Amino acid sequence: MAKVFIYPATSLILSDMVARFGHEPLGSAIGIRERIQTPGFESPPLQITPEEPKKGLKWAAVEVPSGVRGRMAVYGPLIEAAEAAVIVRDPEFAFGCMGCARTNELILFHLRNMGIPVLELDYPESEDEGIAFVAAIREFLNGLPKEASE
Amino acid sequence: MAEYIPTYVGTVTKYVFVESPLLTPKDLAVRAYEISGGVMIKETCFGLQVTGTPDEVEALVAKVREFDPFHIFVKDRGFPPGDERRCRANLGGARPGYLGHEFEMKKVRYISKGLEAAAATAPSLPEKPKSLDARRLKEMMDAEEP
């Protein structure tokens, strides 16, 4: 079972596909859950403490806005743990403020430069494209190691 | 600032979406209650939210999927159900994340077709022209002796 980072990180379709075909999806829910269930954070509701932008320095330079670094404190450890990635290009709903937009760019940059297997595709717009979409993901995921990592 | 004391520590929460001509979210909820075995289930307009220990939730989700494997979709959720920071009852209006679900639920019928096709056969992928990788291009340029 490989750890597969999904982009958009909140995607229902990608999360389901990865789990359905026998791997572990890594998305924003995993990082958020860790914070939600950790006692002692000082700033609910977002659970982003002043420490988060400091942690984010590992993935983004100091002149990068702290919002991006705060977000990377959530996504960075997941990207580092990822053994593969499935990316949907230009997802319409993944727009947002500049912090989200720049974080998304940084996530894609890291995924493409890590040297892990990456599958990039577009959301299907028809039944035929849906069939090709599922087939591509299935073939990609079947090519990943099935045994547990670590 | 008040200390934050988390609830439902050690649990996982999963969304179960159903988009089926044969199974409504209400039917799914009733069937899920029958096999829940103590796992917390919250009915929603699109399906369920299931909360419990990872093993319990995994087992329940696997059983629930069997009701209509091509039309039931599952994903993780970071927040537990009813969390005041996300529950629309407290916020007034759609909760954060709603637009993403709405967008993807328009696409899942195509995915269902894809899953049915994948189960029926193993279709060969259409040939797509591959663009030249930038690293490969640089290697080719470097290999050129002056």
pLDDT single digits (tens) A103-117: 999 999 999 999 999
Q: Determine the pLDDT at residue B122.
A: 59
Question: What is the pTM for the complete model shown?
Answer: 0.86
Mean pLDDT of chain B: 88
What's the CA angle centered on A131, arms A126 and A136, to 5 degrees?
A: 120
What is d(CA A27, CA A121) in angstroms, rounded to the nearest whole number? 17
Query: What is the nearest CA distance from A30 to chain B, expressed in angstroms?
Result: 6
ipTM, interface predicted TM-score of the complex:
0.89
What is d(CA A118, CA B56) in angstroms, rounded to the nearest whole number? 32
pLDDT single digits (tens) A131-150: 999 999 999 999 998 775 55
What is d(CA B17, CA B102) in angstroms, rounded to the nearest whole number? 11
Contact yes or no for B15 and A12 at CB 8 A: yes
Contact yes or no for B110 and A125 at CB 8 A: yes
Query: What is the nearest CA distance from B110 to chain A, expressed in angstroms?
Result: 5
Contact yes or no for B74 and A19 at CB 8 A: yes
What is d(CA A62, CA A58) in angstroms, rounded to the nearest whole number? 9
Q: Does A122 touch chain B (CB under 8 A)?
A: no
Q: In this predicted model, which residue has the larger pLDDT, A2 or A39?
A: A2
Query: Best interface-test mutation with B: which of A3, A12, A100 has the largest number of B CBs within 10 A?
Result: A12
Q: Does A29 touch chain B (CB under 8 A)?
A: yes
Contact yes or no for A138 and B118 at CB 8 A: yes
